[in-house]
């Protein structure tokens, strides 16, 4: 029997306690010190999300650099799918965030003359990454700094909470329901505004990519928000036998992926850029090389100069733990070759928002990676910078909204009914979430579904997903509240898989992080975003054309034109 729900009231409910959630709370409290801000996170309180696990490096358009030049680079890099006005605002604020992190105690690498070291990104003219002073310390330091800020600002935080539904009244979000997956306590949250800062979605491919499962975008979609960029997957190249972060720095410094014959194979697919490019183009090359019998693929670091080793050799944290394990196994990361593989890590799909994170639903905002910005090609330090800026923007916007909004009492009976539905599988016999997760991973990972996509393969995957829904997803059960959390995660991953297949099948061209082997070129009539609209619970794809006439810079160069696959 369901326990009596506990009711918690706040002004601004922030779902997610990573970088964007913490910066959302900071922005809200700085805009309105009297606002009550509550962060609820799925992990333990104050863990800091994937920020804590990150390297901590930042992309920064520093004072004296031109934000307009950066926007031009991104418009080119993203093959035109760039919200130029939003990106200009972001890069105008990036130096301020860089300075704020340093004020909070974070440090960044400098040369002997005291100037900041930086690494150019993806063969672009202006975009640069600024590494932390000591590799392995950046993420933990940023997390610790932001938790100190939460204490200073008086932000409330709760951990071990899974949010399962948003509550609407009169077409406005007025709260959410969820549960504590340790105690099993059902919870009703009443709020004047809600900010989703819960990340995007993964298929749980490895231990540091197993937390964000898509609940945030799914919550927003069910509430009536519009989704965007779901045809783009975050497909990385990773060592087969261990985990490593930092390829974004390795490639500009001279690292090269080579095939079984020792060839720098990316020179075949892009004589212009070669190996110094985005992993999403490299993974296409890896897939084609493997299919041609020229695998396995290894990483050659011999060209990295000794003076640059401090940038990539870890000195602390989980990165040092991995490095020391390799040494114990007799593997020299900088001299020995080891196999790398492609890995479907994340969905790039998220929620369409206005400039300040506002969604199509009144009272609902999105921040960080839950807010759709990039079309599936990535560069180092981008997410850590944009989560901070968009979090602060959404927090300020939410504070401004509640200042002019009357409190709306939610329907406790309706909220309790939502919780009854959530708890229905608890304690029953049925299919385990782990079994369904494995099936979802098998659906999404084949080359012709994720990397070299074809209509036939995407249709096949849709049929497999439908069969999975009928045979297993509809029979999910949870032995205890912990497995009820896992059940909710798997339901979200299944919905994200559906969103991905729908959008990937709809977009019949190739650009940025999306490649259709049956439509291998970009086409002018696809200079648009693929938006997904909730029509009767079904995701319906529609084109939303890039408003080139309203933007400062013409779309006349395309990064994808540097490649032939």
Full DSSP string of 367-418: -GGGB----S---TTHHHHHHHHHHHHHHHHHHHHHHT-------HHHHHHH
pLDDT of residue 458: 98
pLDDT of residue 317: 75
Write out the DSSP string of 407-446: -----HHHHHHHHHHHHTTBT--SB-HHHHHHHHHHHH-S
Burial (Cβ within 10 Å: 0-12, 13-18, ≥19) of residue 113: exposed
Q: Which of 144, 269, 206, 188 is nearest to 7 (CA)?
A: 188
Q: Which residues, other chains included, contact 101 with Cβ-Cβ below 8 Å and sequence gap of 6+?
A: 58, 142, 145, 388
Mind listing the domains of the chain with CATH numbers? 240-344 (3.90.700.10)
- What is the spatial distance between Cα 553 and Cα 411, in angstroms, rounded to a whole number? 48
CA quadruple 104, 109, 115, 120: dihedral positive or negative?
A: negative
pLDDT of residue 252: 84
- What is the spatial distance between Cα 147 and Cα 155, in angstroms, rounded to a whole number? 9
Q: Which residues of 526-561 are buried (b: 16+ CB within 10 A; e: fewer)?
A: bbebbbbbbeeeebebeeeebeeeebebebeebbbe
Please say whether the beta carbons of 96 and 131 come within 8 A: no
- What is the spatial distance between Cα 548 and Cα 84, in angstroms, rounded to a whole number? 9
Q: Which residues, other chains included, contact 262 with Cβ-Cβ below 8 Å and sequence gap of 6+?
A: none
pLDDT of residue 512: 97
Please say whether the beta carbons of 380 and 129 come within 8 A: yes
Preceding omega of 265 cis (within 30 degrees of 0): no
Backbone angles phi, psi at 168, to 5 degrees: -115, 150
Q: Which of 421, 496, 535 is nearest to 216 (CA)?
A: 496
- What is the spatial distance between Cα 370 and Cα 77, in angstroms, rounded to a whole number? 21
pLDDT of residue 5: 96
Mean pLDDT by 10 residues, the chain (565 residues): 89 97 98 98 93 91 94 98 97 97 96 92 93 90 97 98 96 97 97 95 84 95 98 91 74 90 96 91 97 95 83 77 84 83 94 97 97 90 95 98 87 94 96 97 98 98 98 97 98 98 98 98 97 98 98 97 96
Cβ count near 209 (within 10 Å): 20
User: Which tokens belong to 265?
Assistant: 């194979």
- What is the spatial distance between Cα 291 and Cα 297, in angstroms, rounded to a whole number? 12
User: Which tokens belong to 339?
Assistant: 């196999």
Task: Using CA atoms of 280, 284, 286, 289 in order, give the dihedral in degrees to the nearest 10.
Answer: -170
3-state secondary structure (DSSP) of residue 52: helix
- What is the spatial distance between Cα 187 and Cα 484, in angstroms, rounded to a whole number? 14
pLDDT of residue 246: 67
3-state secondary structure (DSSP) of residue 167: strand
| DSSP bridge pairs for 142 | none
């Amino acid at each position: 029997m369901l326990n009596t729900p506990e009711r918690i009231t706040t002004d601004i409910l922030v779902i997610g306690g990573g970088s964007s959630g913490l910066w959302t709370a900071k922005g809200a409290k700085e805009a309105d010190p009297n606002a009550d801000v509550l962060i609820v996170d799925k992990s333990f309180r104050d863990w800091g999300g994937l920020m804590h696990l990150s390297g901590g490096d930042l992309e920064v358009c520093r004072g004296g650099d031109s934000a307009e030049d950066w926007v031009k680079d991104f418009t080119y890099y993203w093959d035109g799918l760039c919200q130029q006005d939003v990106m200009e605002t972001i890069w105008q604020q990036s130096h301020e965030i860089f300075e704020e992190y340093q004020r909070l105690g974070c440090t960044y690498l400098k040369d002997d003359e005291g100037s900041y070291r930086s690494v150019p990104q993806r063969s672009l003219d202006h975009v640069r990454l600024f590494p932390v002073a000591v590799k392995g310390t950046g993420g933990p330091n940023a997390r610790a700094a932001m938790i100190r800020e939460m204490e200073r600002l008086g932000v409330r935080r709760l951990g071990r909470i899974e949010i399962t539904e948003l509550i609407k009244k009169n077409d406005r979000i007025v709260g959410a329901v969820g549960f504590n997956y340790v105690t099993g306590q059902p919870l009703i949250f009443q709020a004047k505004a809600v900010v989703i800062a819960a990340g995007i979605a993964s298929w749980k491919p490895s231990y540091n990519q197993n937390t964000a499962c898509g609940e945030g975008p799914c919550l927003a979609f069910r509430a009536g928000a519009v989704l965007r960029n779901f045809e783009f997957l975050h497909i990385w190249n990773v060592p087969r036998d261990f985990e490593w972060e930092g390829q974004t720095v390795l490639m500009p410094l001279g690292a090269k992926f080579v095939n079984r014959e020792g060839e720098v194979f990316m020179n075949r697919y892009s004589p212009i850029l070669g190996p110094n490019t985005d992993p999403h183009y490299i993974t296409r090359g890896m897939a084609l090389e493997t299919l041609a019998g020229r695998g396995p693929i290894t990483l050659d670091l011999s060209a990295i100069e000794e003076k640059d080793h401090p940038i990539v050799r870890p000195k602390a944290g989980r990165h040092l733990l991995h490095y020391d394990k390799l040494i114990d196994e007799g593997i020299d990361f900088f001299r020995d070759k080891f196999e790398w593989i492609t890995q479907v890590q994340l969905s790039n799909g998220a929620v369409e928002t206005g400039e300040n994170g506002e969604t199509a639903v009144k009272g609902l905002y999105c921040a960080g990676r839950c807010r759709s910005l990039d079309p599936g090609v990535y560069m180092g330090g981008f997410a850590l910078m944009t989560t901070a800026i968009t979090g602060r923007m959404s927090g300020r916007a939410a504070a401004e909204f509640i200042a002019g909004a009357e409190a709306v009492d939610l329907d406790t009976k309706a909220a309790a009914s939502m919780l009854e539905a959530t708890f229905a599988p608890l304690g029953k016999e049925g299919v385990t979430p782990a079994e369904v997760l494995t099936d979802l991973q098998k659906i999404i990972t084949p080359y012709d579904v994720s990397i070299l996509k074809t209509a036939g393969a995407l249709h096949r995957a849709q049929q497999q997903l439908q069969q999975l829904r009928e045979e297993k997803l509809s029979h999910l059960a949870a032995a205890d509240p912990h497995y009820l959390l896992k059940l909710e995660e798997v339901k979200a991953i299944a919905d994200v898989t559906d969103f991905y297949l729908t959008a990937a099948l709809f977009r019949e061209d190739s650009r940025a992080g999306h490649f259709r082997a049956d439509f291998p070129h970009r086409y002018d009539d696809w200079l648009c975003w693929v938006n997904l609209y909730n029509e009767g619970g079904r995701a319906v794809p529609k084109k939303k054309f890039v408003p080139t006439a309203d933007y400062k810079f013409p779309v006349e160069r395309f990064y994808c034109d540097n490649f032939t696959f």
